[in-house]
Structure 1
Amino acid sequence: MLRPDPLRDVVLIVDDAPENLSILHSLLDKSGYTVLVATDGAGALDRARRLPPDLILLDALMPGIDGFETCRRLKEDLETRPIPVIFMTGLTETEHVLQGFQAGGVDYITKPIRPAEVMVRIASHLRNSRQVVQTRAAMDAAGQAVVAVGPSGEVLWLTPLAQARLRGSLDAQGRLPAALCSWLQEALRAPEVGPFELLTATEQLIVSRPRRGAHGEELLVIQSKPGSPGPAALMQAFRLTPREADVLYWVAVGKTNRDIADILGMSPRTANKHLEHVFAKLGVETRTTAARMALNLVTPQTTQ
């Protein structure tokens, strides 16, 4: 859906109290914002997905899906995850404030609403968010595949090229593969750690960590490795049958025998038999060693 005015920031207000909606709508509209409203969590999720706003003012306590759960669901979706959420609450107890931050909120304001405070906080978080948007746009224009990762390994945002390269590797909540998260934690402790190699269903990727973003996020660059070893290359290099090559390929991707059986339309027992043959031909005893040999394979054309 097209934005009503691309030059105006869009703020979504979510509150089940009509008087609060009226006050905030009037305040923001007079300040030059495009204002969207929702009276419950379900409506907020629908509006945010159809027309992602630049910022969300979210009431913490609402009937049905409360503000905390609404925020959690927004942060589970890659499309709405980057949107800054400011909680509005009459609850000032530490546990409720922490609950808001744990759900993914960036700030909170207390009721009754103080207009000057609201406007300052909105302007501050929009300014920070705009810097991220501008960074992404510059990377998009340069054709870079970049992923911004938070302190717990969650994907904050990623450029379209990175999303295309990682398609199928992210889980339902848009999180990075566990092995890649482990590498990142190790790289944070020891900066000299080298790049990470990730084998997807279509290509081999090289993940590097060039620098930290302006807001403390880790920026990962995703590059495609030339000559990535597909099943055909594995079959030729290790003298495998087509089925054995398929099994080794998916082992290198990180799939279990049951996953491989489902993908290739065979029983787990048959997949295990093929894997035993692969081990024998490669002269290895473990999945890890077999996967490493597949990942380290350089096809003949890349050495010319």
Structure 2
Amino acid sequence: MNSPLANTDSDPIGTARAHVLVADDDPGSCRFLCDGLDSMGARTEACMDGMAALQRARAEPFDLLLLDCRMPGAGALQILTALRADQRACSAESIAVATTAELEPGGRQSLLDAGFSQILLKPCGLAELQQVLALVQPGRHPAGMLDDRAALTATGDATTMRALRLLLREELALLHQELDALSRDRAGFSERLHRLRSSCGFCGATALSAQTVLLQQQLLQRGATPIALARFRQALLATLQALDS
């Protein structure tokens, strides 16, 4: 299986254009998402049918999948479930974002539990797209590393949010120092990542949270790959930079 970011020509982490599959059966939404991501340096491919999107994701290693929840053939949940179950699929471990014009109560958590790193509500703006692209290219899009709105929703007020972000900053600085040693301790690393996911959620560190989830999944299955560790390290450093700014 090809790994995500296999489309790079030199340094595989963050320097090449992110390869993004945009699956949406609404022509206007599909055009906006593709044009917006292209304007930020991504390389997009559009698909307006769910089964066709699944076939492309199986055949091609995309860095990021934007999947509409309701499409002919298959929706976002069906596509991602099929991909995650097929380790021969080229995009089996790609970061996935669900897109939808309406979200039912409990729908967000169900999608997150299914493996989506983020839910993008339509219509959206370029700022939201930048946060989505930062999931796979944190160093190139540092402005998308922290989601203030999500953090305020989780913490309840700005004072608590700032206090928790200070704690996260200390946690990340220590984790960066210990990362090489931790990567050789599969059980200990998995437990550390479990705690980090909670901190990321409270602080709105969406890009780092996405890389943490993917790394956890790899550790459970067969151990972390070098490219997954490199992407996690880059997201960690970019989040530290954002917390310091």
TM-score (ref. length: structure 1): 0.42
Determine whether 1:35 maps to 2:12. no
Within a 5 Å distance, the mapping from 1:261-280 to structure 2 comes to: none
Q: Which residue is 2:173 aligned to?
A: none
Q: Secondary structure at the match of 1:86?
A: strand
Gaps of 5+ in 2: 10-15, 140-184, 194-211, 224-245
Q: Which residue of 2 aligns with 1:197?
A: none
Q: Distance in 2 between matches of 1:70 and 1:127?
A: 25
Superposed CA deviations along residues 219-253 of structure 1, whole A, max 9, x for unmatched, are: 666xxxxxxxxxxxxxxxxxxxxxxxxxxxxxxxx
2:102 aligned residue (87, 91, 111): 91
Question: How many residues get paired?
Answer: 143
Q: Where does residue 53 of structure 1 map in the other structure?
A: 62
1:211 aligned to 2:188? Answer: yes
Q: Name the structure 1 match of 2:132.
A: 121
The Cα of 1:33 is off from its aligned counterpart by 0.8
CA distance 1:212–1:25, change in 2 (3 Å): same
Task: Please name the residue that 2:117 is paired with.
Answer: 106
Q: CA deviation at 1:82?
A: 1.4
Distance 1:127 1:103, change over 3 A: same
Deviation track 1:163-209 (CA, whole Å, cap 9, x = no partner) reads xxxxxxxxxxxxxxxxxxxxxxxxxxxxxxxxxxxxxxxxxxxxx84
Contact persistence 1:68–1:99 (CA under 8 A) = no
Confirm or deny: 8 A CA contact 1:55 1:126 kept in the other structure.
no
**Ranges in structure 1 where 5+ consecutive residues have no aligned partner:** 129-207, 222-304
Deviation of 1:63 after TM superposition, in Å, equals 2.1
Secondary structure of 2:73's partner? Answer: coil
The whole-number CA distance in structure 2 between the counterparts of 1:209 and 1:116 is: 36
Distance, in Å, in 2 between the alignment partners of 1:121 and 1:16 is 20
In structure 2, relative to structure 1, the CA distance for the partners of 1:4 and 1:121 (3 Å cut) is closer
CA distance in 2, matches of 1:49, 1:64: 16
- 5 Å-filtered alignment, 1:1-304, equals 6=9, 7-78=16-87, 79=89, 80-127=91-138, 209=186, 211-212=188-189, 215=212, 217=216, 218=219
CA shift for structure 1 position 4: 6.5
CA distance in 2, matches of 1:107, 1:17: 20
Contact 1:3 1:51 in 2 (8 A): no
**Cα gap change, 1:30 to 1:64, in 2 (>3 Å):** same
Question: Structure 2: how far apart are the matches of 1:75 and 1:126?
Answer: 22
Moved runs in structure 1, 4+ residues, more than 4 A? 1-5
Structure number having the greater helix percentage:
2
Task: Report the Cα offset of residue 124 of structure 1.
Answer: 3.0
**Which amino acid in structure 1 is aligned with residue 48 of structure 2?**
T
Bigger radius of gyration: 1
Amino acid at match of 1:94: P
Structure 1 Cα separation of the partners of residues 133 and 26 of structure 2:
20
What's the TM-score, normalizing by structure 2? 0.51
- 1:118 & 1:9 partners in 2: Cα distance? 13
Alpha-carbon offset, residue 73 of structure 1: 0.8
Q: Is the 8 A contact 2:63 2:136 kept in 1?
A: no
Percent pairwise identity = 28
Is contact 2:101–2:123 with CA below 8 Å preserved after alignment?
yes
| Bigger relative contact order, structure 1 or 2 (CA pairs below 8 A, ≥6 apart) | 2
Q: In 2, distance between residues paired with 1:97 and 1:40?
A: 22
C-alpha displacement of 1:210 = 5.3
Q: CA deviation at 1:41?
A: 1.4
Verify the 8 A CA contact 1:13 1:35 in the aligned structure 2.
yes
